Amino acid sequence: MQKSTAIANSNIAIIKYWGKRDERLILPTNNSISFTMDEQLSTTTTVEFDSALKQDEAILDGKIADEKEYERVSNFLNVVRARAKIKLFAKVVSNNTFPKAAGLASSASGFAALAAAASKAVGLDYSMKDISILARLGSGSATRSVYGGAVEWQKGSASDGNDSYAVQLSPASNWKHLRNIIAIVDAEKKKVSSRAGMAETVKTSKRFSSRLEAVGKRLEIVRSAIKDNNFESMADIIMEDSDDMHACMADTIPPIVYMDETSNKIKKAVRALNESEKIAAYTFDAGPNANIYTTNPNEVKSMLKEINGIKKIIECKIGEGIRFSEKHLFY
Ligand code: 2P0
């Protein structure tokens, strides 16, 4: 069968996904909105289904996948095999341009690239919408990485998940002035996975229901700001949604705390920077690293230089969605 290679970039949400209504089908409790990042945060994946293989093979960042990784990849390939009605095993080789599980959402680019490469390799003639639905079965945030620019994952209401996919709100070309300055505070693997953490929040947080009510209004404001190409008018909402998600994490029993002292210093500094003119918005995922969306990257970078505990700064542009390549990772 043909070999297929796909590239997908990571995305960083501005209205967060934190909670599932269906754990198996990865159906979220609320819509979320993100910007897709540039090639600095990307995954390239080559897939080939091959009758000579006795089991799936997965090599991630040059190493044979560990047990947990193998199981996740192989389970995902089972979905692809079921859809294509074949039984062949596959070889998967995947390279990230950034450290895995560093709070930089590697599962987003990882499963988007795997969904695209595997569906093409198996001969399924999938649209981007189909790929988005398939990617969702690997990881929720991967649903959004299918498209570039500003992207909304519609939670949908169907019980089979077929209306839970992403749509592009605005292409990357409309956001040439916007950057995400990522401050790496800690590049270690996180202690509580997003998957486990969000399940606990849905189960035990009393605050979570008020979050779901508030998100509706936030989505409206952000959609309208994106339509107007106006970053400033959504900066406060972006920070409010990140704070709200982390408050729900803290309200979980037992509490989940991803942000540390350095993260909190960054939050304060962004607020101070915005006092004279609104130029930046922080957002934090399931880790201490800060994502600072801004129309004035130089000012944000000089502000970050004054803060101790930041290990690395990455300046990301708004990037493109999935693309296919003829340059395979194995031959
Ligand atoms: C997001 N995060 O919207 C949120 C904000 C982390 C915090 O999507 O269980 O790895 O695979 O669906 O996609 C991370 O969660 O979780 C995430 P699964 P995923 O980007």
Domain 179-317, what architecture?
Answer: 2-Layer Sandwich (3.30)
State in Å: Cα 106 to ligand 1 middle.
10
pLDDT of 110 > 80? The answer is: yes
Give residue 36's pLDDT.
98
Domain limits, the chain: 4-175, 179-317
Length of the chain as a residue count: 331
Give residue 186's pLDDT.
82
Token look-up 């090639």 returns 39
Q: What are phi and psi of 39, to 5 degrees?
A: -65, -15
Cα radius of gyration (the chain): 19
Q: What is the pTM of this model?
A: 0.97
Which atom belonging to ligand 1 lies closest to the Cα atom of 111? 11
pLDDT of 101 > 70? The answer is: no
pLDDT tens profile 17-46: 999 999 999 999 999 999 999 999 999 999
270 lines ligand 1 (CB under 6 A): no
140 lines ligand 1 (CB under 6 A): yes
Average pLDDT over residues 78-90: 98
Q: How confident is the model at residue 100 (pLDDT cuts 50, 70, 90)?
A: low
State in Å: Cα 54 to ligand 1 middle.
33
Average pLDDT over residues 257-262: 96
Atom 11 of ligand 1, nearest CA residue: 139
Average pLDDT over residues 277-300: 96
Atom 7 of ligand 1, nearest CA residue: 285
Atom 8 of ligand 1, nearest CA residue: 141
pLDDT tens profile 112-144: 999 999 999 999 999 999 999 999 999 999 999
Residues 14, 262: Cα–Cα separation, whole Å: 21
Q: How much is the mean pLDDT over the chain?
A: 96
pLDDT tens profile 179-237: 999 999 987 767 899 999 999 999 999 999 999 999 999 999 999 999 999 999 999 99
User: What is the SS3 string spanning the chain?
Assistant: CCEEEEEEECEEEEECCCCEEECCCCEECCCEEEEEECHHHEEEEEEEEECCCCCCEEEECCEECCHHHHHHHHHHHHHHHHHHCCCCEEEEEEEECCCCCCCCCHHHHHHHHHHHHHHHHCCCCCCHHHHHHHHHCCCHHHHHHHCCCEEEECCCCCCCCCCCCEEEEECHHHHCCCEEEEEECCCCCCCCCHHHHHHHHHHHCCCHHHHHHHHHHHHHHHHHHHHCCCCHHHHHHHHHHHHHHHHHHHCCCCCCCCCCHHHHHHHHHHHHHCCCCCCEEEEECCCCCEEEEECCHHHHHHHHHCCCCCCEEEEEEECCCCEEECCCCCC
Instruction: Select from 141, 144, 154, 256 the residue to mutate for testing ligand 1; criterion: most ligand atoms less than 8 Å from CB.
Output: 141
Give residue 188's pLDDT.
75
Q: How confident is the model at residue 147 (pLDDT cuts 50, 70, 90)?
A: very high
Class of domain 4-175: alpha beta
Q: How confident is the model at residue 106 (pLDDT cuts 50, 70, 90)?
A: confident
pLDDT of 261 > 80? The answer is: yes
17 lines ligand 1 (CB under 6 A): yes
- The amino acid at 212: L
Instruction: Select from 14, 107, 242, 258 the residue to mutate for testing ligand 1; criterion: most ligand atoms less than 8 Å from CB.
Output: 107
State in Å: Cα 275 to ligand 1 middle.
31
- Report the share of the chain in percent with pLDDT over 90: 95
State in Å: Cα 229 to ligand 1 middle.
25
286 lines ligand 1 (CB under 6 A): yes
194 lines ligand 1 (CB under 6 A): yes
pLDDT of 105 > 70? The answer is: no
18 lines ligand 1 (CB under 6 A): yes
Tokens read off for 305: 């230089």
CA dihedral 67, 73, 76, 81 (to 10 degrees): -100
Domains 4-175 and 179-317 share a fold: no
Atom 14 of ligand 1, nearest CA residue: 194
Give residue 191's pLDDT.
82
Average pLDDT over residues 94-107: 74
Q: How confident is the model at residue 104 (pLDDT cuts 50, 70, 90)?
A: low
Give residue 267's pLDDT.
98
Give residue 85's pLDDT.
98
